[in-house]
Amino acid sequence: MTALIKVDKNTIIGDIVKSCPEGKEVIQKYFGTGCFTCPGINMESIGFGSMMHNLDPQLIVDEVNAALEKK
């Protein structure tokens, strides 16, 4: 797995969780810990997860990217 440089709403949640501890914290903040045991984590994007949780995907994308920039 290559390191993530920047994410968008199409980035797979599992890729963030695997490659960026700071990004994992953002995912947990918005989606909860259930995301980490869901089999869909390796197929579902930030956009899809946001839709399922009634959230603005851009908010999550921006926060994950900010975390990646600090890394």
- Provide the pLDDT for residue 21: 87
Number of folded domains that form the chain: 1
CA distance 11 to 15: 7
The pTM assigned to this predicted structure is 0.87
SS3 45: strand
In a domain? residue 29: yes
- Provide the pLDDT for residue 16: 92
- Provide the pLDDT for residue 1: 44
In a domain? residue 31: yes
- Provide the pLDDT for residue 70: 81
- pLDDT-based confidence at residue 5 (cuts at 50, 70, 90): confident
Q: Residues 26-64: pLDDT tens digits?
A: 999 999 988 888 889 999 999 999 999 999 999 999 999
In a domain? residue 8: no
Tokens of 55: 């959230």
Domain that holds residue 32: 13-70
In a domain? residue 20: yes
In a domain? residue 42: yes
